[in-house]
Amino acid sequence: MATLALQGLHKRFGTVTALDGLDLELASGELVSLLGPSGCGKTTALRIVAGFEVATSGRVQVAGRDVTDVPANKRDMGMVFQAYSLFPNLTAAENVEFGLRVRRQAKAARAAKVAELLELVGLASAAGRYPYQLSGGQQQRIALARALAIEPSVLLLDEPLSALDAKVRVNLREEIRRIQLELGITTLYVTHDQEEALSISDRVAVMSQGRLEQVGTPAEVYRRPATPFVAEFVGTVNRLTVRVVDPAAGIVEHRGRRLETAEPLSLTAGAETRLLVRPEALVPSLAGADGTADGIGGRVVGTSFLGAVTRLWVDLGDGAVVAADVQSAAADAFTPGTAVALSIRPGAGRVLASDRSEADPVVAELPA
């Protein structure tokens, strides 16, 4: 397999800057997700790699070879599209065979390869069906088989699951990962769904406004977001306004209460900053009869059942609302109106070095 490198990619559409200097390297056999909100430039980046779009500047390399000026049909890249893209006039098997016919492979070799790939995506029985006779999920499986049939050096997927319903989406993403690992193919996977990206990737590259915010393993990106954007976009996060007490020990203070953060701080004592806390790191307990308890005081204003856990929306007074998760089995005690005390799991709070976003106090929003 091959490495893939995106080097300093810039792309402008008229006055719109879609990519603003994108650098990303994929190791051989690695699956990297490009994750970001709609319009941040993910598709543009993928299309430049595929050769469908010409970068304003920057290079693309495959296995150390510069392919920036190679036309799309000579790049040997497999691509799965967001929209259904099977050729409507060809059967599933003929679709898979298409790239092999273009390459003028012998008939027997083609037939063997098609059978192998249909088997791989679990659709051997659908070989003779036309796209309109296949479900959305099946169509995307065939599209994957078609892309893989040419034994591409790199596999590119642009939100391949976004048109499918939730259950199929989860199944198919596991399938894609299984196949990717089995073939060991270098893969760039575009998605706006953080759960999808975290669940199938070796590394996640979080994008915003044409730039990379952070590249790291799913755990790194989730636990140690490098920027407020990443913290907000990947998972839910609460932000608490705190004052630095002891930078070396990572101690901060929230309304007079001392809290321990994950690591030493580069800020001076007395400085005001924001502490980011995931809902699962914010532990609610029932406040005492006098309304006081050991923790940040607040009142439950809403609950959302999420399955194993229930998310509580807690008003801290002054209008700030934070999210805190409890096991659903224990959630009955926390009805709206209940006074609670929130404590932070030791070391779970994180202060961002490059905290550059808007005014305090900001917290997770109530669900719409």
Ligand X SMILES: Nc1ncnc2c1ncn2[C@@H]1O[C@H](COP(=O)(O)OP(=O)(O)O)[C@@H](O)[C@H]1O
Minimum CB distance to ligand X smaller for 36 or for 152: 36
Nearest to 139, CA basis, from 100, 180, 172: 172
Return the range that interacts with ligand X (CB under 6 A); candidates 12-20, 69-77, 117-125, 234-242.
12-20
CB 208 → ligand X: shortest distance, Å?
Answer: 10
AA letter at 268:
T
d(CA 314, CA 322): 5
User: Candidates 36-44, 126-134, 146-154, 224-232 — which segment interacts with ligand X by CB under 6 A?
Assistant: 36-44
- The number of helices, as runs of H, and strands, as runs of E, in the chain is 8, 20
For residue 192, the minimal CB distance to Mg ion (Å) is 8
CB-nearer residue toward ligand X: 138 or 191:
191
Length reported for the chain: 368
Question: Which one, 41 or 279, has the nearer CB to ligand X?
Answer: 41
Q: Which of 111, 130, 267, 338 binds other proteins (CB under 8 A)?
A: 130
Q: Which is nearer to other proteins, 52 or 222 (CB)?
A: 52
Query: Dihedrals φ, ψ of 82, to 5°?
Result: -70, -50
Our measurement of the distance from residue 327's CA atom to the centroid of its chain's CA atoms, rounded to an integer in Å, reads 25
DSSP summary character for residue 208: E
Cβ nearer to ligand X, comparing 83 with 329:
83
3-state SS class at 46? helix
Provide the CA 297 distance to its chain's centre, in angstroms.
33
136 binds, among Mg ion, other proteins, ligand X, none (CB under 5 to 8 A by kind): none
Using CB under 8 A as the binding rule, whether residue 73 contacts other proteins is answered as: yes
Residue with Cβ nearer ligand X (191 or 238): 191
CA-CA-CA-CA torsion sign (155, 160, 166, 172) = negative
* Shortest distance in whole angstroms from residue 140 CB to ligand X: 17
How many chain residues bind ligand X (CB under 6 A)?
11
Paired with 243 in beta bridges are 253, 272
**Backbone region of residue 255 per phi and psi (left: phi > 0; alpha: psi in -120 to 50; beta: other values):** left
Between 31 and 145, name the residue whose CB sits nearer to other proteins: 145
By CB under 6 A, what part of segment 39-78 binds ligand X?
39-44
Query: What's the rounded Cα separation, in Å, for the pair 144 and 73?
Result: 17
**Binding to Mg ion by residue 180, rule CB under 5 A?**
no
- x-marked contacts with other proteins along 142-161 as a string, rule CB under 8 A: -x--xx--x-----------
167 binds other proteins (CB under 8 A): no
Phi, psi of 187 (to 5 degrees): -135, 130
Q: How far is the CB of 193 from Mg ion (least distance, A)?
A: 12
Alpha carbon 53 to its chain's center = 23
Is residue 33 close enough to count as binding Mg ion by CB under 5 A?
Answer: no
Query: How many positions of this chain bind other proteins (CB under 8 A)?
Result: 32
Q: Smaller CB distance to ligand X: residue 43 or 261?
A: 43
Beta bridge partners of 241: 274
What is the four-CA torsion angle of 143, 145, 150, 151, rounded to 10 degrees?
Answer: 130
Q: How far is CA 100 from CA 10, 39, 85, 143, 180, in A?
A: 34, 34, 17, 14, 20
CB of 120 to other proteins, least distance (A): 17
Q: Is 76 left (phi over 0), alpha (psi -120 to 50) or beta?
A: left
Q: Which is nearer to other proteins, 130 or 222 (CB)?
A: 130
Which listed range, 36-44, 95-103, 256-264, 339-347, lies at the site for other proteins (CB under 8 A)?
Answer: 95-103
43 contributes a contact to Mg ion by CB under 5 A: yes
Could you count the other beta carbons within 10 Å of the beta carbon of residue 358?
Answer: 6
Q: Is 208 in the site for Mg ion (CB under 5 A)?
A: no
Q: Which residues bind other proteins (CB under 8 A)?
A: 50-52, 71-79, 81, 83-90, 94, 98-99, 102-103, 130, 132, 143, 146-147, 150
